[in-house]
Amino acid sequence: MTSFQALSEGVNACRIVDLSSDVGNHADGPFKTEVDALEPVPGARFFCENVLPKVAPHAVGRLRPENFPKGAFLRHEMVRASVHAGSHVDAPGHYGPADDGSPGLINEAPLGSFIAPGLMYDVSRLPDDVVGLRHVDVPGRGSEGAIALIRTGGGKAIGSDLVEAFLDAGITVLGTDGESFDGPFAPMIDRYLASGDDAALWPAHVLGRSRPYYQLERLRNLEALPASGFLVIAFPVLIEGATAAWTRAVALLPEGGATQAPGREE
């Protein structure tokens, strides 16, 4: 058996778990996702009037809308959306000015970091608003390059101490089902107002200025994953000059794999 055949058989023996959310999934605010569709029939006229003169000017007046089969061209959509809508990857440049001055753009991200064995931590039942190092058993040596996914239930922040522990373990891609690693904005802002400490503002993100890493946010179906024994694939879309990009994240889970995820709840 060749290595390709072994790879193909291994993939075919896995179940695909969709970890992605639609680009329409975005927090309330000024950044709305809009999808405008050009239907096939008006699309035929649009093509003849706006596209044809640029791509084949000699055919203007000779190719007309009624010449298309059933008078219909192709459907086309235009999407306006934040790169933080839906499941997406945050690159270090998103976190603010880097200590080393690097731009931290998403198109500089090493693709090999986004296909790796996964580790899943389920802390969704914790009563705490912030998930810290005391709640999670971070792996030791041997897990370098893995992708750690943290299921919070969507309403918890992930503490910078926990993020730093993962970085110490050689894990530089972290994911969550939450809208933000720093949790819902209102509770975080309340923590800042109560303490007056600016370190309370987006601490998990700001950590990435000095210790670069990648965040996967707005994931879903993490409850379908075991603690380990699966592969995560979450390549970012290539967007030149951006510091984040959408991803169609999936997990490959061998059929018959375990379903219980770890969690140290205190």
Tens-digit pLDDT profile for residues 223-250 = 999 999 999 999 999 999 999 999 999 9
Angle at 216 between CA 215 and CA 221, to 5 degrees: 150
Indicate if 132 and 250 belong to the same structural domain: yes
pLDDT computed for residue 24 by the predictor = 87
Indicate if 69 and 87 belong to the same structural domain: no
> How many angstroms separate the CA atoms of 121 and 260, rounded?
10
Question: Could you list the residue range(s) of the whole structural domain that residue 233 is in?
Answer: 3-26+83-254
pLDDT computed for residue 259 by the predictor = 46
pLDDT computed for residue 29 by the predictor = 66
Note whether residue 195 is domain-resident.
yes
pLDDT computed for residue 266 by the predictor = 42
Domain boundary among 80, 109, 144: 80
pLDDT computed for residue 109 by the predictor = 97
> How many angstroms separate the CA atoms of 98 and 206, rounded?
9
Indicate if 104 and 155 belong to the same structural domain: yes
pLDDT computed for residue 257 by the predictor = 58
pLDDT computed for residue 154 by the predictor = 87
Indicate if 52 and 149 belong to the same structural domain: no
pLDDT computed for residue 160 by the predictor = 97
Indicate if 94 and 128 belong to the same structural domain: yes
> How many angstroms separate the CA atoms of 226 and 238, rounded?
30
Domain boundary among 62, 80, 98: 80
Of how many residues is the chain composed?
266
Domain boundary among 80, 112, 146: 80
Burial degree of 88 (CB within 10 A; 0-12, 13-18, 19+): buried
What is the separation of C-alpha 52 from the centre of its chain, rounded to a whole number of angstroms?
37
Q: Which of 81, 84, 94, 87 is nearest to 177 (CA)?
A: 87
Note whether residue 259 is domain-resident.
no
Note whether residue 261 is domain-resident.
no
Indicate if 55 and 186 belong to the same structural domain: no
Note whether residue 129 is domain-resident.
yes
Residue ranges in the chain whose pLDDT is less than 50: 259, 261, 263-266
Note whether residue 7 is domain-resident.
yes
Indicate if 147 and 247 belong to the same structural domain: yes
What CATH number is associated with residue 22? 3.50.30.50
* Contact by Cβ (8 Å): 205, 75: no
Note whether residue 60 is domain-resident.
yes
Indicate if 41 and 106 belong to the same structural domain: no
Note whether residue 260 is domain-resident.
no
Indicate if 222 and 92 belong to the same structural domain: yes
Indicate if 76 and 15 belong to the same structural domain: no
The H or E element that residue 55 is part of is: helix 52-55
Amino acid at position 244, single letter? A
Cα distances from 240 to residues 85, 236, 243, 262, in angstroms, run: 17, 11, 9, 38
- Compute, in degrees rounded to 10, the torsion defined by CA atoms 18, 90, 161, 135: -10
**Lookup result for tokens 């110490």:** 168
Indicate if 106 and 214 belong to the same structural domain: yes
Strand partners, 76: 38
Note whether residue 266 is domain-resident.
no
Indicate if 179 and 48 belong to the same structural domain: no
Number of domains in the chain: 2
pLDDT computed for residue 26 by the predictor = 76
